[in-house]
């Protein structure tokens, strides 16, 4: 039976636009008949996996998600540098093998990229003679969909590039066995990987993240702003040099994270030390890291005000129903904490124990600590 870790997080953000829709407005959702502010799970997960917390705690175990691996393979082969240096666009990279002819390098790059997904078909120019367009000269080296590469797979590609550059041999089926079911890419292990062309190498996500929603009703507001030309002395025109408008809102968010610890351990090959590091990095990032949307305009960084962590083999459940009726009191944080605890107690009266044990951190009252939560999830 799987062991689950559940996080219930309350975080308050001042005026902000953390996660925008296609019109540049803060994302919203209707819940309980009222409009709420929303931050998508995709936005949260990207902020966490790109955070310094992840980079420092899980260095060497974070994959790369890109459509352009074929382009970087091509650059490595034509310059003679490592794949890592090509990805970093390192102009001072050491040449570790003799550069390859562009036509040959392109063929190899297409074959290698094709292992991870369908490569785009080159667009021909109007005369139908050229295989490339000026706008995207290496477009036929890109994948049609994003693919997630583990560090082990990147290392295998790098070794393969050196071998074919030195030997000049054509690629065989055995050479192209680059995909790995077992790897130590924690972001793939947590958030999953889907490869339509190679389903046997798919990874089921061990971490589920809800869309964060405000516990209260929210109205999105407009910010009309102007910018002044520093060299305008007001002689001819005293008006603004630029006029703009953007939208924002503020709110107290509830976010729910469910971690299948058993599946996470399985995805990471049973490496318990790496599992614990991953859990701690994830919880710390969830508590401290916000999406970067419009941060320069609003400086809306915030830490979680309250976290309830739970462990057990019981079927997981969110406590979002605590906010089905929008809160509207003057002390929203205290009311929200009470609503979460009250809802949990009532659910346990009906269903029985919903978790084996729990641990709380309340920055509002100064009770508990993040370090206690981190110890709890890895104990």
What confidence tens digit (pLDDT) does each residue in 151-198 have? 999 999 999 999 999 888 889 999 999 999 899 999 999 999 998 878
Residue 106 has pLDDT above 60, yes or no: yes
Let me know whether 112 and 148 are in one domain.
yes
Number of helices (H) and strands (E) in the chain: give both, helices first.
12, 11
Mean predicted confidence (pLDDT) in 130-142: 70
Query: Minimum mean pLDDT among 8-17, 140-149, 229-238, 351-360: which range?
Result: 229-238
pLDDT in tens, 213-259: 999 999 999 988 888 888 887 777 778 888 888 899 999 999 999 99
pLDDT in tens, 216-226: 999 999 988 88
Let me know whether 288 and 350 are in one domain.
yes
Let me know whether 153 and 245 are in one domain.
no
pLDDT confidence of 127, banded at 50, 70, 90? low
Let me know whether 230 and 147 are in one domain.
no
Query: Can you give the three-state secondary structure of 254-300, one letter per residue?
Result: EEEEEEEHHHHHHHCCCCHHHHHHHHHHHHHHHHHCCCCCCHHHHCC
Let me know whether 238 and 166 are in one domain.
no
Question: What pTM, to 2 d.p., does this model score?
Answer: 0.90
The pLDDT of residue 230 is: 87
| Last residue within a domain, chosen from 153, 184, 215 | 184
Domain count along the chain: 2
Let me know whether 374 and 234 are in one domain.
yes
77 domain-assigned: yes
136 domain-assigned: yes
Let me know whether 165 and 240 are in one domain.
no
Residue 110 has pLDDT above 80, yes or no: yes
Let me know whether 40 and 162 are in one domain.
no
Q: What is the average pLDDT value for the chain, to the nearest integer?
A: 92
Domain, as residue range, for 285: 4-62+204-378
82 domain-assigned: yes
Mean predicted confidence (pLDDT) in 24-44: 96
* Residue 322: CB atoms within 10 Å: 22
53 domain-assigned: yes
- Helix intervals (H) in the chain: 41-49, 52-57, 69-79, 83-87, 102-113, 151-167, 186-191, 261-267, 272-288, 295-298, 332-351, 370-378
Both ends of the chain: CA-CA distance in Å? 18
Residue 126 has pLDDT above 70, yes or no: no
Let me know whether 164 and 211 are in one domain.
no
């Amino acid at each position: 039976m799987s062991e689950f870790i559940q996080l219930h997080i309350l975080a308050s953000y001042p005026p902000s636009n953390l996660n925008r829709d296609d019109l540049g407005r803060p994302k919203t959702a209707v819940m309980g008949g009222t409009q709420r502010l929303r931050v998508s799970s995709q936005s949260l997960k990207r902020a966490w996996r790109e955070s310094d917390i992840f980079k420092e705690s899980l260095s060497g175990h974070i994959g790369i998600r890109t459509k352009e691996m074929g382009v970087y393979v091509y650059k490595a082969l034509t310059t003679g540098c490592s794949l890592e240096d090509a990805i970093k666009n390192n102009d001072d990279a050491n040449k570790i093998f003799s550069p390859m002819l562009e036509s040959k390098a392109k063929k190899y790059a297409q074959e290698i990229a094709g292992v991870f997904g369908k490569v785009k078909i080159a667009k021909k120019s109007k005369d139908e003679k050229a295989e490339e367009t000026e706008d995207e000269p290496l477009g036929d080296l890109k994948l049609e969909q994003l693919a997630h590469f583990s560090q082990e797979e990147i290392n295998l590609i790098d070794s393969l590039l050196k071998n074919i550059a030195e030997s000049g041999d054509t690629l065989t089926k055995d050479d192209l066995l680059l995909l790995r079911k077992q790897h130590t890419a924690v972001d793939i292990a947590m958030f999953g990987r889907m490869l339509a062309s190679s389903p046997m190498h798919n990874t089921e996500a061990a971490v589920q993240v809800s869309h964060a929603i405000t516990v209260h009703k929210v109205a999105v507001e407009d910010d009309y702003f102007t910018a002044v030309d520093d060299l305008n002395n007001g002689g001819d025109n005293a008006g603004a040099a630029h006029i703009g408008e953007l939208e924002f809102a503020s709110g107290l968010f509830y976010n729910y994270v469910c971690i299948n610890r058993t599946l996470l351990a399985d995805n990471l090959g049973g490496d318990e030390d790496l599992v614990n590091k991953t859990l701690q990095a994830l919880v710390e990032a969830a508590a401290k890291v916000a999406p970067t949307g419009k941060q320069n305009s609003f400086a809306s960084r915030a830490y979680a005000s309250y976290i309830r962590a739970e462990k057990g083999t019981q079927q997981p459940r969110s406590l979002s129903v605590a906010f089905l009726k929008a809160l509207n009191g003057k002390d929203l944080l205290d009311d929200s904490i009470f609503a979460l605890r009250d809802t949990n107690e009532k659910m346990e009266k009906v269903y029985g124990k919903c978790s084996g044990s729990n641990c709380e951190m309340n920055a509002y009252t100064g009770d508990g600590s993040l370090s206690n939560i981190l110890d709890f999830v890895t104990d």
